[in-house]
Chains A and B, each alone.
Chain A
């Protein structure tokens, strides 16, 4: 057997190895695909895009996987974290979003998906580090959101406008914080910020009203 034949034989062995890997791990590959598509939904949700239909389809397609407890340990956490991130971005006035939120809450209650990365309820003695951790998590999410906008080539005023729109409908307080932070930055850069400050104040007032009514 010459060198070329030997190499072709080796090529065939290696390709067979990958084919068998793909066959044996088909369920894991399918799960990774599901997590990846849920991640895309979470990213779009963070950008303030409408994701209800896609999330609803995702839930239908993955119901068996989740309810039959076929998620591995890392997939269990990843799905739990992604659904938590999506859950905080829901429009609280949208009945369809409320239905999806209930579905996620039920899965979490039944232990079918993991909880959030950050533990939000701890004793008072560790409240300060926990708050610092929450703040860091907020900044990380804000940086991620800004990164998406910058990738799209958006102007900072257009970003602020979008963030304010999200603040109006989302549960997540991050949008208020991010809007205030951008407004402060623009002010120090010499921009006229009064209309944005007014919009933010109005939104805050409305939000407080909604919370009080709850």
Chain B
């Protein structure tokens, strides 16, 4: 049987393909216990985290602009 982490790794990759980055990041966190020492895993996991942070920041800035009437 696959481990919980192996299943999460597959779910993360599938979520990336479907452009569901929030889900991907969550599944990467579950898979981390088993795959953290793999370089390709770390790149995908950290990049997904970075993309979510960028999206959050864009959302905040756009809301600020709406509230202050800029743009």
Most chain A beta-carbon contacts within 10 A, residue among B48, B51, B62, B65: B51
Q: Is B33 in contact with chain A by the CB < 8 A criterion?
A: no
Closest B residue to A140 using CB positions: B1
Q: Given contacts A4-B58, A29-B13, is CB(A85)–CB(B1) below 8 Å?
A: yes
Residues A7-28 near B (CB distance < 8 A): 7-8, 10-11, 14-15, 17-19, 21-22, 25
Contacts of B57 in A (CB 8 A): 7
Q: Judging by beta carbons under 8 Å apart, are A14 and B1 in contact?
A: no
Q: How far is the CB of A201 from chain B (nearest CB, A)?
A: 31
Q: Given contacts A3-B61, A39-B2, is CB(A15)–CB(B51) below 8 Å?
A: yes
Q: Given contacts A4-B58, A4-B62, A7-B61, is CB(A43)–CB(B1) below 8 Å?
A: yes
Q: Is A33 in contact with chain B by the CB < 8 A criterion?
A: yes
Q: How far is the CB of A26 from chain B (nearest CB, A)?
A: 8
Q: Which of B9, B13, B54 contacts A14 (CB 8 A)?
A: B54
Most chain B beta-carbon contacts within 10 A, residue among A7, A10, A25, A29: A7
B-binding residues in A (CB < 8 A)? 3-4, 7-8, 10-11, 14-15, 17-19, 21-22, 25, 29, 32-33, 35-36, 39, 42-43, 46, 78, 82, 85, 144
Q: How many B residues have CB within 8 A of the partner chain?
A: 24
CB 8 Å contact bits of B1-24 with A (1 = contact, 0 = none): 110001101100110110101000
| A105 to B51 Cα, complex, angstroms | 46
Contacts of A17 in B (CB 8 A): 47
Q: Is B42 in contact with chain A by the CB < 8 A criterion?
A: no
Q: Which of B6, B16, B51 contacts A11 (CB 8 A)?
A: B51
Residues B41-65 near A (CB distance < 8 A): 44, 47-48, 50-51, 54-55, 57-58, 61-62, 65
